Structure 1
Amino acid sequence: MKKKQAYIEREREQGHLRLWNDYFSEDATYPAHIFRRRFRMNKDLFLRIVDRLSHEIPYFQLRRNGHGRLGLSGLQTCTAAICIMVYGCAADAVDEYLRLGESTAILCLENFTDGIIQLFGDEYLRRPTPEDLQRLLHIGEMRGFPGMIGSIGCMHWELRNCPTAWKGQYTRGAGKPTIV
Structure 2
Amino acid sequence: MRRSLFIQVVEAVTTKQHKYFDQLHDATGKLGATPIQKCTAALRMLAYWVAADSIDAYIKIAQSTAKAILDHFVKGVREAFTEEYLRRLTGTDLQRLLYDGERRGFPGMMGSIDCMYWQWKNCPRSWKGLYQGRSKSATIILEVVASGDLWIWHAFFGAFGTCNDINVLQRSLVFDDFYQGKAPQVNYTVNGNTYNK
Q: TM-score, normalised by structure 2?
A: 0.48
Partner of 1:119: 80
Letter in 1 for 2:115: G
Distance 1:129 1:52, change over 3 A: same
Give 1:121 deviation, angstroms.
Answer: 2.1
Partner of 2:3: 43
Structure in which a larger fraction of residues adopt helix: 1
Equivalent residues in 2 for 1:16-165, closer than 5 Å: 36=1, 42-57=2-17, 58-133=19-94, 138=100, 147=109, 149=111, 151-153=113-115
Aligned residues: 115
Partner of 1:166: none
- Any idea what SS the aligned residue of 1:123 has? coil
Q: Structure 1: which 5+ runs fail to align?
A: 1-35, 37-41, 156-168, 170-179
Q: TM-score, normalised by structure 1?
A: 0.52
Partner Cα distance (2:116, 2:80) in 1: 32
Structure in which a larger fraction of residues adopt strand: 2
- Any idea what SS the aligned residue of 1:107 has? helix
Identity, in percent, stands at 35
